[in-house]
Structure 1
């Protein structure tokens, strides 16, 4: 990839994160206060692979509000792709990252959201949020997760409770440009937020 292509991909990724933030907050149930690469957000969204000396970061994060999710935290990955392309590979890595993040800071990992502008792995869609699928892709990234190349060694090291926890926290959200516009207006959001603020008086 050339420098110009890299810069273009980075700009597209940043645009996707901003659009994901805007859509999530339009639900009135999300406060996505951490967005990469905003400097105050970077440390909140960064984790370290257990092996290999590399870090990874989620694209955004924050708190859910109201109802059954009130006060829960989330981390999210956004993929601004018009076609499936290599989304399946990115999702595979995302699952391994969720596993690592959960083991590192379980108290902060209430929800893991995948937001994309294209579906992927359609024939496997019912499996994508199962513990067995998470297991498969954690093992796929076993060198960085467990520091071993042998598949059988990685299988012996995996934490089944963490697999189940990650699977139960996954969200798959597929967006479209039209859907981004079919949301509550800023004016009506203000009414809702004012109502919620007054409830505490």
Structure 2
């Protein structure tokens, strides 16, 4: 990838994160206060692979509001791609990252959100948030997660409770440009927020 292509992809990724934040917050149920690469957010969204001396970061993070999710935290990955062919590869990596993040900071990892502008792995769609699928893709990244190349060694090291916890916390959200515009207006959102603020007093 050339420098210009890399810069274009980075700009498109940043645009996707901003659009995802706007859509999530338009539900009135999300406060996505951490957005990569805003300086205050970087440290909160960054984690380290256990092996290989490399970091990774989520695109968004913050708090859910009201109802059964009130006060829960989330991390989100946003993929705003014109060509979705490599989304399965990115999703595989995302699952391994969620596993690592959960083991590192379980108290912060109440929810993991995957937001994309295209579906992927349609034939496997019903399995994408299953523990078996999470396990398969954690093992696919075993060199960075466990520091071993041998599959049997990695299988002996995997934390099944963490695999199940990650699967239970996964959200798959597929967006489109028209869907982004069909949201509550800023005026009506203000009414809801004022109502909730008065009710909390």
Query: TM-score, normalized by length of structure 2?
Result: 0.99
The 1-side partners of 2:162 and 2:112 are apart by 13
Show the counterpart of 2:80. 80
State the Cα distance separating 1:81 from its structure 2 match.
1.5
Show the counterpart of 1:49. 49
- Mapping of 1:130-169 within 5 angstroms? 130-169=130-169
SS of the residue corresponding to residue 129 of structure 1 reads coil
Show the counterpart of 2:102. 102
RMSD: 0.5
Deviation per CA, 1:98-132: give whole Å up to 9, x if none: 00000000000000000000000000000000000
Which consecutive aligned stretches of 4+ in structure 1 deviate over 4 angstroms post-superposition? none
- Mapping of 1:1-201 within 5 angstroms? 1-201=1-201
5+ residue gaps in structure 2?
Answer: none
Query: TM-score, normalized by length of structure 1?
Result: 0.99
Aligned residues: 201
Deviation per CA, 1:59-91: give whole Å up to 9, x if none: 000000000000000000000013422000000
SS of the residue corresponding to residue 149 of structure 2 reads coil
The 2-side partners of 1:61 and 1:177 are apart by 22
SS of the residue corresponding to residue 71 of structure 1 reads coil
5+ residue gaps in structure 1?
Answer: none
